[in-house]
Amino acid sequence: MSSPSPAPNDAALARFARAAEEAVAEGRLPFVVAMASDRTGPIFEAAYGTAAPGGPPAGPETVLWLASMTKAITSAAALQLVERGKLDLDAPAARLLPELGAISVLEGFEPDGLPRLRPPRLPLTLRHLLTHTAGFGYDMWSPALARAQAALGLPPLSSGKRQALHLPLLFDPGEGWCYGINTDWVGLLIEAAAGMRLGAWLDAHLLGPLGMRDTGFRLSPERRARLARLHVRRPGGDFVPIAAPVAEEGEFERGGGGLYGTVRDYLAFIRLILDEGRTAAGERLLGPASMEVLRKSAVRGMAGIGRFDRATANRSHAFEFFPGLRKGWSLAFLV
């Protein structure tokens, strides 16, 4: 267990530090790594517990699977290419990535169990993908998609196979909102527009300039030695470590959930958004137009980030972020 450094002088941070320390000590969380920043830089840092069984104490250097926090970084990269005229928010995405033109809408199932599919009524666009209004979902949260996936012989997303992204749409583009594999497709659009792997673009235009040296799609031996284990809570309330459900050596780099990184690195990305698209050194990575669409809600009236229920979801319970507040989705994250 480590003590907060520097010691928080803000009452709210002090309360958080006490709550985090107690949660780990009582077994309600396996570990906590936390940082906070103001305009001038980090002002709070704390870590409690161990990030892997038998491993060293958790700390700012602990490497974590970023999971869906990858989405905001990939979305920012897409907007960089929009600024350069390499991507268009509203042009049919299939012009650049023809395999998107083969995606169908799932209308139901035939008596023999095969999916009933039809072409979408509107072309799917980058804007649809960035706002999660394209119609894509996640098979792990949608019984219909899981059934279609099995019937079509598609591999699971965890396989790292590109064919896993060829799930049908749950609705026509623009006619709903559903959290899903949209940003994985955005990563492939970035590769098509930039002529390089997603990770290479991120390294050159976001991660590198921000000093996010511990963030990437693959783990070096040194990073792997600092990797936190993913934990799940068992029915009795205790935690058990499991393997992260992401393939490092897959056929594509998952723009929707494949990055590994540290809390310290991710704070640098958050500061980019708060500092009008500029790094701490003043280098502009995102222009004013991109910052406007990043912060402005493009999808309004959402009841929550997802439509999950305990009967059908195998990884999540029904939940609601920020109860009572109006919410929407920008071109990168919840607003």
Q: What is the 3-state secondary structure (H, E, C) of the chain?
A: CCCCCCCCCCHHHHHHHHHHHHHHHCCCCCEEEEEEEECCEEEEEEEEEECCCCCCECCCCCEEECHHHHHHHHHHHHHHHHHCCCCCCCCEHHHCCHHHHHCCEEEEECCCCCEEEECCCCCCEHHHHHCCCCCCCCHHHCHHHHHHHHHHCCCCHHHCCHHHHCCCECCCCCCCCCCCCHHHHHHHHHHHHHCCCHHHHHHHHHHCCCCCCCCECCCCHHHHCCECCEEEECCCCCEEEECCCCCCCCCCCCCCCCCEECHHHHHHHHHHHHCCCECCCCCECCCHHHHHHHHCCCEECCCCCCCCCCCCCCCCCCCCCCCCCCCEECCCCEC
Report d(CA 268, CA 274) in Å as an integer. Answer: 10
pLDDT at 247: 67
pLDDT higher than threshold 50 for residue 309? no
pLDDT higher than threshold 50 for residue 312? no
pLDDT at 245: 65
Query: Which of 48, 138, 142, 179 is labelled catalytic?
Result: 179
pLDDT at 9: 63
- Angle (CA) 159-207-79 rounded to 5° is 85
Any catalytic annotation for residue 296? no
pLDDT higher than threshold 90 for residue 90? yes
Any catalytic annotation for residue 71? yes
* Sign of the CA dihedral running 152, 155, 157, 162: negative
Query: Which of 71, 138, 142, 290 is labelled catalytic?
Result: 71
Dihedral pair phi/psi, residue 227, rounded to 5°: -75, 130
User: With contact defined as beta carbons under 8 Å apart, do 223 and 292 qualify?
Assistant: no
* 247 compared with 49, residue with greater pLDDT: 49
- pLDDT tens-digit map of 3-22: 445 444 688 899 999 999 99
pLDDT at 3: 44
Tell me what percent of the residues of the chain surpass a pLDDT of 90. 70
pLDDT higher than threshold 90 for residue 71? yes
pLDDT higher than threshold 50 for residue 148? yes
* 7 compared with 23, residue with greater pLDDT: 23
Report d(CA 184, CA 192) in Å as an integer. Answer: 13
* 29 compared with 311, residue with greater pLDDT: 29
User: With contact defined as beta carbons under 8 Å apart, do 69 and 266 qualify?
Assistant: yes
Query: Which of 3, 5, 68, 220 is labelled catalytic?
Result: 68
Any catalytic annotation for residue 86? no
Mean pLDDT, residues 207-214 taken together: 97
Rounded to two decimals, what is the model's pTM?
0.91
